[in-house]
Structure 1
Amino acid sequence: MITCLQQFIAGQFLKGSIGKDFLTFMSPENLLIGVQIMAVGITLAVILIYAQLLAKKRMHFYTQRIQNNIEVWISHIILEESVEGIDIPKKFYRLLEDPKARQIAIDELTNCKKNFSGIVAENIVALYNKLGLRDDSLSKIKNTRKWEVQARGIQELYLMDQKNLLTKIYRETNSKNEFVRSEAQIAIIYMTGFNGLRFLDVISYPLTLWQQIKLLEQLRLFGKKEDLSDRIPNWLESKNETVVIFALRLAAEYQQFAVIDAIRGCLVHPSSAVRTRAIKTLIVLADEKTAFTLTGYFAKENFENQVHILDSLLSFATDEQHAFLEKLLDAPDNIIKLKAAMVLANNCTDGLSTIEKRALVEPEPFERILRHVKSVK
């Protein structure tokens, strides 16, 4: 019955004006025209794709040819005793009239500069300047619309030791773009060493963890330990929380014992992240007061920092911390109890007997804690 009803409705539809229009539209002539249009569209799409692939192929071979020529010229020139006295062929200059060729030359020179030192490195920089490629890098810094172009320009300039442009690069250490300011900060350190850390006095944007690691890596290239005791206290007062954290990292990295009192002051910082870093720094610079300092601030800290303090006490706690640790056996959290028990057993003369007595009075959880302490002692 349903099938009959459907056939009836279809028949009525085809009898109406809409049905007639549909039949006209689906006529063999119209279908043929539609197929022809589709065929033309597909043909045009194939031609367009082929043209794009051909253009990319030609550009690849063109770029490869330029790169090979530039590599040969540069290799020949930088191995000379001095670039200044060399007459660079006009053919080479004509080659560099193409912007693509100029960028390839910059890339080749910066890559060479990373791998060479001494006279060869000096020749690389001299050639970069003589060819006027510095202006290309400088123009990139001015391209405020594309951060990746700005960052690339900064990198080219510092790798080519353009120290006379320090002021321009320094302005970008507080750029609103994370990648631009990161590259500028690396540049300042690369060219001036520890003196470049002066950007910490002015930056208002945060220093990411990754950027802090990169800055420390850059500073390690200078080898010797630097005395930062006159600068770190100022950075610890910064309104930029990440500057404070980085200053604490610097204090630990370069063993700045002279600023330990300023570091202790960070234990009351409103930021938990700063306090955590201050605790870790104090542990690295530990002196006879460290255990008293950390136990004194213990009750005010969050759970994570409390655990970290107890872990650190394993390194330098003594019988003088016995009373403090025994009191923590009454803490509401079993992890704190366990950590305190570990320090008691390992660092205090009668620490293990203290835990054994608690296990007799309060089997749960101290029997389990006692077994664990004995298993790792």
Structure 2
Amino acid sequence: MIYFEILLSVFLGLATFLITFLSFYLFIRKIWRRAYLKWDRMIDMLLRKAIFFHEGNNGQLTSIPITRRLKDNLNNRRFSNRLVKKIILAKRNVSGQYGDNLRQLYIQLGLDKKALRLLESRKWHLQAYAIQQIGTMGLKEHLARVYRYTNCKNNLIRMEAQIAVLNLIGFEGLRFLDIISYQITDWQQIRLLKELSTVPQTELTGIDKWLSSENASVTIFALKLARNYRRYELYENIVSCLDHNNPNVRKQAIATLTDIYVENTSEVLLARFERETYQNQIAIMNAIAVIGDVQNVSTLLSYLDTEKAQMKFAVARAIINGNKTGLECLVNDQRSKTYPLIDMIPQLKTEIR
């Protein structure tokens, strides 16, 4: 009985503690929520004022009016962090004079100095955040300090630095491809290409050098650049990548040649078919189906004997689209009457270009 009373007392004590703790937590959270709402109104009003701010009549830059209350709140770390996030978000969504006004506000509030202090932090996430701010706010005067992080061993810092230099100086920022020793991941490449799509197009140089880089990921990225920007003058450089020792580089070269090709490209690809990996062989057949211009259909017909359905389908598609007589040759072949080709051909007929 006494043990039951002790357990009951402990349970009631824990319940009382939890209820008190939760009540206190909800009370504090309610206070912070009210504070955040006030801060958001204050910050939003400041950003609207900054975005539509005009210079003085004499054309000289003048300071954006800031209330005393907001200046006092700048010493509050929570408020300052909230302000920075909102300025960065606003800067990403506007351009031209509006973006310049936000940049002026950012500097006027001394937030650039805070970012530089974060850049010297030993915590990688703070360094990455500082680099992101410098890039987004267009602080070109700090380009040299950011550029040295483009080959940083920390993946996140390195990625943010590479994005930042593109924000700061556009296509010229890709010069970091000359010196990086780490691999550019697929996700990094996607982010870089997305960032480049927003940069005003200028003469993009250096792709030929990157196509022969010792860093395989740089070569792959250069192939994507050549493909995206239709650099036909690099055709021979792209073809040379078909002999690269990395199968991923060769696969990307095949994909690039699907868009950048000349009269004998299909024959060039077929010449390498036998010694390629299975996935790259599939890529070659898919490329031929797009490029066409196959001189000898019998070469393609010889690959129909494969037991793998995926390969058989890819070869059949290449035959049909690779030559104007391809469909006739395939239909007249005895293997077209057997499974699975007998089911594949009707579907492939609907895809004829």
Given the two structures, how large is their TM-score scaled by the length of structure 2?
0.86
Cα contact 2:166–2:195 (8 A) shared by 1 = yes
Partners of 1:89 and 1:241 in 2: CA distance: 54
1:241 aligns with 2:216: yes
- Label 1:72 to 1:266 Cα distance change in 2 as closer, same or farther (>3 A): same
Aligned-partner residue type, residue 176 of structure 2: F
1:65 corresponds to: 38
1:133 CA displacement: 1.0
Cα contact 1:356–1:370 (8 A) shared by 2 = no
2:191 corresponds to: 214
1:40 CA displacement: 2.9
Cα contact 2:285–2:314 (8 A) shared by 1 = yes
Aligned-partner residue type, residue 305 of structure 1: N
Cα contact 2:264–2:293 (8 A) shared by 1 = no
Partners of 1:194 and 1:332 in 2: CA distance: 47
User: What does 1:9-88 align with in structure 2 at a 5 Å threshold?
Assistant: 28=2, 31-82=4-55, 84-86=62-64, 88=66
Alignment length, in residue pairs?
344
Cα contact 1:225–1:254 (8 A) shared by 2 = no
Partners of 2:199 and 2:62 in 1: CA distance: 29
1:93 CA displacement: 1.9
1:177 CA displacement: 2.4
Partners of 1:333 and 1:281 in 2: CA distance: 26
3-state secondary structure, aligned to 1:301: coil
1:34 CA displacement: 4.6
- Label 1:351 to 1:117 Cα distance change in 2 as closer, same or farther (>3 A): closer
Partners of 2:232 and 2:17 in 1: CA distance: 74
Of 198-207 and 242-251, the range deviating more from structure 2 = 198-207
- Label 1:62 to 1:348 Cα distance change in 2 as closer, same or farther (>3 A): closer
Of 246-255 and 194-203, the range deviating more from structure 2 = 194-203
Cα contact 1:137–1:153 (8 A) shared by 2 = yes
Of 243-252 and 263-272, the range deviating more from structure 2 = 263-272
1:65 CA displacement: 1.9
> What do residues 2-32 of structure 1 show as CA deviations (whole Å, max 9, x unaligned)?
xxxxxxxxxxxxxxxxxxxxxxxx5x4x654
Aligned-partner residue type, residue 116 of structure 2: L
Partners of 1:163 and 1:90 in 2: CA distance: 30
1:274 CA displacement: 0.9
Given the two structures, how large is their TM-score scaled by the length of structure 1?
0.81
Given the alignment, which residue of 76, 95, 102 partners 2:73?
95
3-state secondary structure, aligned to 1:285: coil
1:253 CA displacement: 0.3
Aligned-partner residue type, residue 191 of structure 2: K
1:308 aligns with 2:293: no
- CA radius of gyration, larger in: 1
- How large is the RMSD of aligned CA atoms in angstroms? 2.7
Aligned-partner residue type, residue 221 of structure 1: T
Q: Which has the higher contact order (CA 8 A, sep 6+)?
A: 2
Cα contact 1:78–1:127 (8 A) shared by 2 = no
Cα contact 2:309–2:340 (8 A) shared by 1 = no
Partners of 1:364 and 1:69 in 2: CA distance: 75
Partners of 2:50 and 2:336 in 1: CA distance: 82
1:255 corresponds to: 230
Percent identity (aligned): 29
Of 280-289 and 329-338, the range deviating more from structure 2 = 329-338
- Label 1:295 to 1:45 Cα distance change in 2 as closer, same or farther (>3 A): same
1:121 corresponds to: 99
1:158 aligns with 2:130: no
1:201 corresponds to: 178
1:364 CA displacement: 7.0
- Label 1:223 to 1:134 Cα distance change in 2 as closer, same or farther (>3 A): closer
Partners of 1:345 and 1:127 in 2: CA distance: 62
The structure carrying a bigger helix percent of its residues is 1
Aligned-partner residue type, residue 84 of structure 2: I
